């Protein structure tokens, strides 16, 4: 007898579950669709969305931290030291700029949108914007050039640096020659001044080349 | 049809060709509408929009699809049996289209007013099984062969409930000729066979449960005839790529696809003719006439098509053994009981 009961139970189960399913389906027929009709309607990006990179080149001090942090090496930075007489201005965070940024290229096709270049920047000049529609027809247009130095500017800065370095080298040579002469003179009369004062750090009078400003104090706490 | 008797050989030939092409035109238009309907109903049941860009809300999409299929490359694999491969879609389509000859579209139009209309339809639509087996075998692809063999088993098994359900209709209306069956039910919705036919009230009340059950069983069996979910094992998109028509592309595939939709309408039309009053208006003599008849017929057919689409997006697929179980152990015994019941009530 139980086989017969099972048989009819199965049939009843099948029919009732089909009816329940059909009710759900027909209800959904009248539910408003959730599709966003792109490109007529676009979804709002979240606040901290990681999309296309932007560099505020006026704030860039050329420290190369973002290029070093990038896991796919999509940032290429070339800098030229500035001479002391040049004034490159200060960044919006108050740092004095000491390097000309002659090349700052981001190959946005290689960028993996990880956002690792943003925290190391000391001046917060590289940011991820919410722009996600930037297709190009030519792949070469996907290499973004952020530097604003013209080739003449680069040439000029290069010349200036070379001149400054030559002058410094010349001065160094003169000072070294003078120190050597002084040393020779001191060696000739050793008895006259036995406790010879230790030779002053003769060759260090020349100006040390300007160091990158990455060791400026107070940057460690930057998020 | 009786008016065109004295036209001579060529005249009769021309008229025959034109009249037999009319259901073809109907099938093509109906296929465009149904493809669009299926796409939109499927999308809205799933809370999404379907095509919105080709024409207003995508109405031109079926035409775009058709043009795309026309310009596709015709690929026949090297190891396939060429003659059978090419012939198979035509046989499937012929099997389906042949059945349209005996369907009463309206009081003035029936392709062939044969006295064995229902029997003819069942017989001719069995050709589809042959076509599917050919397609599966000629593709030289194991998934196609699986799909084809499953389809043959399914179609043959579900012919039995289909025929038995039609017998119930024949018992009440007394004729296999579909035009007579529909005329028998003229008189409004209360005269439809699904509610017992134009019989005295007591007999009607006793017969109605049997006829309603028979109608539902006919609907289910017709789903299996056309390989629709939940009986779409032969196509089984998630298992067999596309089952027996995996290797078909371009216009050959389009022919299978149109044949499937034509088959859907054919079985719906048979169910409508036997149980839902065919081209008769549900209001009896109001809103009836040759053109109105066509309108009612198509509307009722589309209601059943909508039910088929609705079920497709509700139910999962039956396993092949569950399919066989349903046909032989559930539908057929219930139909035997219905035949017995209807017969007893009609005799008493």
pLDDT 10s digits, B271-323: 999 999 888 888 877 777 888 889 999 999 999 999 999 998 899 888 888 88
Look up the pTM and report it.
0.78
Tell me the three-class secondary structure of chain A, residue by residue: CHHHHHHHHHHHHHHHHHHHHHHHHHHHHCCCCCCCCCCCCCCCCCCCCCCCEEECHHHCCCCCHHHHHCCCCCEEEEEEECCCCCCCCECCCCCECCEEEEEEEEECCCCCCCCCCCCCCCCCCEEECCCCCCCCCCHHHHEEECCCCCHHHHHHHHHHHHHHHHHHHHHHHHHHHHHHHHHHHHHHCCCCCCCCCCCCCHHHCCCCCCCCHHHCCCCCCCC
Supply the range of the domain harboring residue A124. 53-151
pLDDT value of residue B195: 87
Strand order in the sheet with A75-81: A75-81, A99-107, A143-145
Q: Does A27 touch chain B (CB under 8 A)?
A: no
Which tens digit of pLDDT belongs to each residue from B329-344?
999 999 999 999 999 9
Q: Does A35 touch chain B (CB under 8 A)?
A: yes
Residues B61 and B85 in one domain: no
Residue entry with tokens 């040049």: A86
Phi, psi angle pair for A144, to nearest 5°:
-90, 130
Strands A143-145 and A99-107: antiparallel
B259/B261 Cα distance (integer angstroms): 5
Q: Is A106 a member of any domain?
A: yes
Q: Is A217 a member of any domain?
A: no
Mean local confidence (pLDDT), B48-67: 88
Confidence band, pLDDT 50/70/90 cuts, at residue A210: very low
3-state secondary structure of B110: strand
Give the residue from B159, B316, B136 showing the smallest Cα distance to B234: B136
Q: Is A215 a member of any domain?
A: no
Residue B314 and residue A25: Cβ atoms within 8 Å?
Answer: yes
Residues B124 and B32 in one domain: no
Residue entry with tokens 């036209």: B7
Residue A195 has pLDDT above 60, yes or no: no
Residue B48 and residue A33: Cβ atoms within 8 Å?
Answer: yes
Q: Pick the residue from chain B with its C-alpha nearest to A24.
A: B314
Q: Is A26 a member of any domain?
A: no
Residues B67 and B188 in one domain: no
Residue A221 has pLDDT above 70, yes or no: no
Residue B344 tokens read as 């007893």
Q: Is B40 a member of any domain?
A: yes
Q: What percent of chain A has pLDDT over 90?
A: 39
Q: Is B18 a member of any domain?
A: no
Q: In b/e form, how buried is each residue of B237-263, taking b as 16+ CB within 10 angstroms?
A: eeebebbbbbbbeeebbbbbbbbbbbb
Residues B117 and B197 in one domain: yes
Classify residue B197 by burial, with Cβ atoms within 10 Å: 0-12, 13-18, 19+: buried
3-state secondary structure of B104: strand
Q: Pick the residue from chain B with its C-alpha nearest to A35.
A: B48
Give the residue from B200, B179, B197, B201 showing the smallest Cα distance to B188: B197
Q: Give A195 or B145, the one with higher predicted confidence.
A: B145
- Angstroms from A29 CA to nearest CA on chain B: 4
Q: Does A41 touch chain B (CB under 8 A)?
A: no
**Tally of CA atoms within 13 A in the half-sphere of B77 that contains its CB:** 13
Residue entry with tokens 């009078």: A205
Mean local confidence (pLDDT), B79-106: 90
Count of residues for chain A? 223
Which tens digit of pLDDT belongs to each residue from A22-75?
999 999 989 888 888 888 888 888 888 899 999 999 889 989 999 999 999 999
Mean local confidence (pLDDT), B61-76: 89
- Name which of B45, B52, B311 is nearest A28 (Cβ-Cβ): B45
Residues B238 and B278 in one domain: yes
- Angstroms from A67 CA to nearest CA on chain B: 44
CA triple A104-A105-A106, angle to 5 deg: 125
- Angstroms from A43 CA to nearest CA on chain B: 16
Residue A205 has pLDDT above 50, yes or no: no
Residues B114 and B64 in one domain: no
Give yes or no for a contact between B170 and B115, defined as CB atoms under 8 angstroms apart: no
Q: Is B6 a member of any domain?
A: no
Mean local confidence (pLDDT), B108-118: 86
Q: Is B14 a member of any domain?
A: no
- Angstroms from B171 CA to nearest CA on chain A: 27
Residues B29 and B156 in one domain: no
Give the residue from B233, B308, B318, B316 showing the smallest Cα distance to B41: B308
Q: Is A173 a member of any domain?
A: no
Helix then strand then coil, % of chain B, to nearest 5: 70, 0, 30
Q: Is B5 a member of any domain?
A: no
Residues B100 and B229 in one domain: yes
Q: What count of CB pairs under 8 Å joins A to B?
A: 38
Residues B214 and B92 in one domain: yes
Q: Is B10 a member of any domain?
A: no
- Angstroms from A18 CA to nearest CA on chain B: 7
Residues B101 and B137 in one domain: yes
- Name which of A25, A34, A37 is nearest B45 (Cβ-Cβ): A25
Residues B82 and B39 in one domain: no
Radius of gyration for the alpha carbons in chain B, expressed in angstroms and rounded? 21
Residues B132 and B264 in one domain: yes
Domain count, chain A: 1
pLDDT value of residue B220: 92
**Set of chain B residues whose Cβ sits within 8 Å of the Cβ of A11:** 330
Give yes or no for a cis peptide into B239 (omega within 30° of 0). Answer: no
Q: Is B8 a member of any domain?
A: no
Q: What is the mean pLDDT of chain A?
A: 83
- Angstroms from A15 CA to nearest CA on chain B: 11
User: Hey, which residues 44-73 in chain B have their CB within 8 Å of chain A?
Assistant: 44-49, 52
CATH of the domain at A115: 3.30.70.3270
Supply the range of the domain harboring residue B37. 24-44+52-71
Give yes or no for a contact between B107 and B115, defined as CB atoms under 8 angstroms apart: no
**Set of chain A residues whose Cβ sits within 8 Å of the Cβ of B313:** 25
Domain count, chain B: 2
- Name which of B41, B311, B330 is nearest A29 (Cβ-Cβ): B41
Residue A22 and residue B45: Cβ atoms within 8 Å?
Answer: no
Q: Is A42 a member of any domain?
A: no
Give the residue from B160, B146, B164, B310 showing the smallest Cα distance to B230: B310
Mean local confidence (pLDDT), B219-242: 76
């Amino acid at each position: 007898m139980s086989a017969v009961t099972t048989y009819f139970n199965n049939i009843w189960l099948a029919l009732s579950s089909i009816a329940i399913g059909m009710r759900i389906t027909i209800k959904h027929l009248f539910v408003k669709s959730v599709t966003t009709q792109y490109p007529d309607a676009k979804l709002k990006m979240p606040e901290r969305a990681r999309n296309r990179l932007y560099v505020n080149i006026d704030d860039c001090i050329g420290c190369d931290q973002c290029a070093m942090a990038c896991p796919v090496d999509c940032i290429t930075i070339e800098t030229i030291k500035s001479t002391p007489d040049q004034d490159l201005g200060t960044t919006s965070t108050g740092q004095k700029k000491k390097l000309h940024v002659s090349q700052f290229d981001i190959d946005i096709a290689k960028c993996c949108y990880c956002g690792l270049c943003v925290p190391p920047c000391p001046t917060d000049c590289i940011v991820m914007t919410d722009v996600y529609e930037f297709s190009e027809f030519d792949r070469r247009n996907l290499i973004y050039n952020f530097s604003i130095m013209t080739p003449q500017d680069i040439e000029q800065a290069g010349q200036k640096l070379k001149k400054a370095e030559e002058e410094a080298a010349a001065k160094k040579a003169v000072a070294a020659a003078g120190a050597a002469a002084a040393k020779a003179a001191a060696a000739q009369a050793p008895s006259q001044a036995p406790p010879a004062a230790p030779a002053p750090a003769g060759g260090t009078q020349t100006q040390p080349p300007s160091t990158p400003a990455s060791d400026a104090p107070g940057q460690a706490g930057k998020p | 049809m009786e008016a065109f008797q004295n036209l001579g050989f060529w005249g009769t030939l021309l008229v025959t060709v034109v009249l037999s092409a009319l259901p073809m035109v109907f099938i093509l238009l109906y296929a465009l509408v149904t493809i669009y309907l299926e796409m939109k109903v499927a999308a809205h049941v799933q809370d999404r929009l379907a095509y919105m860009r080709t024409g207003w809300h995508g109405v031109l999409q079926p035409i775009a699809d058709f043009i795309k299929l026309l310009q596709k490359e015709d690929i026949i694999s090297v190891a396939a049996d060429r003659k059978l491969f090419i012939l198979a879609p035509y046989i499937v389509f012929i099997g389906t289209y042949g059945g349209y000859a005996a369907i009463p579209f309206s009081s003035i139009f029936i392709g062939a007013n044969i006295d064995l209309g229902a029997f003819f339809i069942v017989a001719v639509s069995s050709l589809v099984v042959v076509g599917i087996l050919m397609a599966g075998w000629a593709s030289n692809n194991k998934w196609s062969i699986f799909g084809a063999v499953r389809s043959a088993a399914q179609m043959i098994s579900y012919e039995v409930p289909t025929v038995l359900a039609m017998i119930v209709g024949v018992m009440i209306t007394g004729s296999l000729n579909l035009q007579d069956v529909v005329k028998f039910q003229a008189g409004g919705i209360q005269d439809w066979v699904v509610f017992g036919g134009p019989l005295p009230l007591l007999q009607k009340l006793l017969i109605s449960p049997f006829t309603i059950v028979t109608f539902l069983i006919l609907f289910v069996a017709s789903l299996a005839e056309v390989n629709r979910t939940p009986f779409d094992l032969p196509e089984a998109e998630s298992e067999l790529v596309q089952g027996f028509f995996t290797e078909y592309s371009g216009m050959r595939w389009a022919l299978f696809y149109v044949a499937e939709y034509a088959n859907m309408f054919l079985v719906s039309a048979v169910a409508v003719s036997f149980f839902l009053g065919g081209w008769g208006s549900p209001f009896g003599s109001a809103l009836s006439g040759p053109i109105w008849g066509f309108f009612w017929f198509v509307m009722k057919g589309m209601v059943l098509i909508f039910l088929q689409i609705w079920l497709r997006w509700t139910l999962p697929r039956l396993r092949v053994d569950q399919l066989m179980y349903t046909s032989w152990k559930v539908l057929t015994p219930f139909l035997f009981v219905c035949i017995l019941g209807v017969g007893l009530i009609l005799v008493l």
